[in-house]
Amino acid sequence: MSWYPIALPSQAGKRYLVTGGNRGLGFFTAARLAGAGAHVVLAGRSPERLEAALSAIRGARPEASVEPLVIDTASLDSVRAGAARLLHRPPLDGIVTNAGMVHTPGVRLESPDGNELVLATNVLGHFALLARLLPHLAPGARVVALGSFSTLLSTFRIDDLQLTRGYDFWRAYAQSKIATQVLAFELDRRLRAADSTTMSVVAHPGYAISGRTPRVPGVNEPTAGARFADALQTPWAQGKHRGAEVTLHALTAPGVEGGQFWGPRFLTKGAPNLQTPTRTTKNASIGARFWAFAEAATGETFGVA
């Protein structure tokens, strides 16, 4: 699989779920896992885009073991239906909660369940998914959440998570990523308290953009203009295939521990490197408050045992 010059250790016998696996970081994460011998479930909301991603992976690796799973993380009904399908399969060795909105709407919108759309898509859908699938993980499994260095650039309105008091597209994205990391670190605390062998880890891809990413038909096809514009950002940007290396490290590398925060060495680009998250995202009190909010917003009682 020519998208990656460095081979992963064999993942034969492993089973992974990657949400948002049909495009961007999720696609390259799923493709590399499949190329290393894992069985990978690619989840996404578009059947057509999922089929394009599967075709691209199989075109590069005809022996790849991959399957689609239609899940729209903005819809709790869709999440529950998708989780129910997985509960009839063998246990998972890892989940990458990658799906999310990057290009957020200019006005506040709500999900089918009445939650602010960006929060619902990027965070609450994954909360509900993990609530259903956590008991279905194999011993030693890892849950890797996609964080962001945008968490360094925004405040967190724990008392206005639905952004009813004021909305803008940047805050919606940054706040959802802060919430993603808050959730992941709180999950780690609860897993440790329960003496679970499952680990919760956060990985952020740096500044990963399409124009610095290999062309994959049906998956990544930026225009010549987009490639030119993105090439001007080369000193501080990398391709999404490179950003995915951080996720893959957090998911598969030996020595990774629950509660860690991995990102590119130079913040926006570079090899995977252990980093320090913001104090807000690691705050146990904030984590407990967000957990309670997420249970109320999704109707899921998320126990860890």
DSSP letters spanning 209-239: EGGGS--BTTTB---HHHHHHHHTTTTT-EE
Q: What is the CATH number of the domain that holds 270?
A: 3.40.50.720
Q: Please identify which residue in the block is written with the tokens 């890797």.
A: 144
Angstrom distance (rounded) from CA 224 to CA 179: 35
For residue 242, is it within any domain? yes
pLDDT at res. 78? 98
Alpha carbon of 251 to those of 44, 63, 248, 272, 292: distances in Å?
Answer: 20, 22, 5, 12, 27
For residue 2, is it within any domain? no
For residue 106, is it within any domain? yes
Identify the CA nearest to 123 among candidates 131, 251, 257: 131
DSSP-derived secondary structure letter, 169: H
pLDDT at res. 217? 83
Angstrom distance (rounded) from CA 91 to CA 134: 10
For residue 302, is it within any domain? no
For residue 197, is it within any domain? yes
Angstrom distance (rounded) from CA 225 to CA 240: 18
Extract the runs of DSSP E, i.e. beta strands, from the chain. Answer: 15-19, 39-44, 65-70, 92-97, 137-146, 199-203, 208-209, 238-239, 261-264, 272-275
For residue 1, is it within any domain? no
264 Rama class: left (phi>0) / alpha (psi -120 to 50) / beta: beta
The per-residue pLDDT string of the chain (305 residues; one tens digit each, 9 = 90 and over) reads: 455 545 789 999 999 999 999 999 999 999 999 999 999 999 999 999 999 999 999 999 999 999 999 999 999 999 999 999 999 999 999 999 999 999 999 999 999 999 999 999 999 999 999 999 999 999 999 999 999 999 988 899 999 999 999 999 999 999 999 999 999 999 999 999 999 999 999 999 998 888 887 888 888 888 888 888 888 888 888 988 999 999 999 999 999 999 999 999 999 999 999 999 999 999 999 999 999 999 999 999 887 76
pLDDT at res. 1? 47
Q: Which of 4, 16, 173, 207 is catalytic?
A: 173
The pTM score is 0.95
Angstrom distance (rounded) from CA 176 to CA 140: 28
Decide if 291 contacts 186 (C-beta within 8 A): yes
For residue 305, is it within any domain? no
Question: How many domains is the chain built from?
Answer: 1
Angstrom distance (rounded) from CA 266 to CA 153: 16
Decide if 3 contacts 28 (C-beta within 8 A): yes
Asked about 173 being catalytic, the answer comes back as yes
Radius of gyration from C-alpha coordinates of the chain: 18
**Domain hosting residue 119, numbered range:** 15-297
- Which phi and psi (to 5°) does residue 120 adopt? -60, -45
Compute how many other C-beta atoms are within 10 angstroms of the C-beta atom of residue 166: 9
Decide if 184 contacts 145 (C-beta within 8 A): yes
Angstrom distance (rounded) from CA 109 to CA 117: 5
Compute how many other C-beta atoms are within 10 angstroms of the C-beta atom of residue 90: 10
For residue 123, is it within any domain? yes
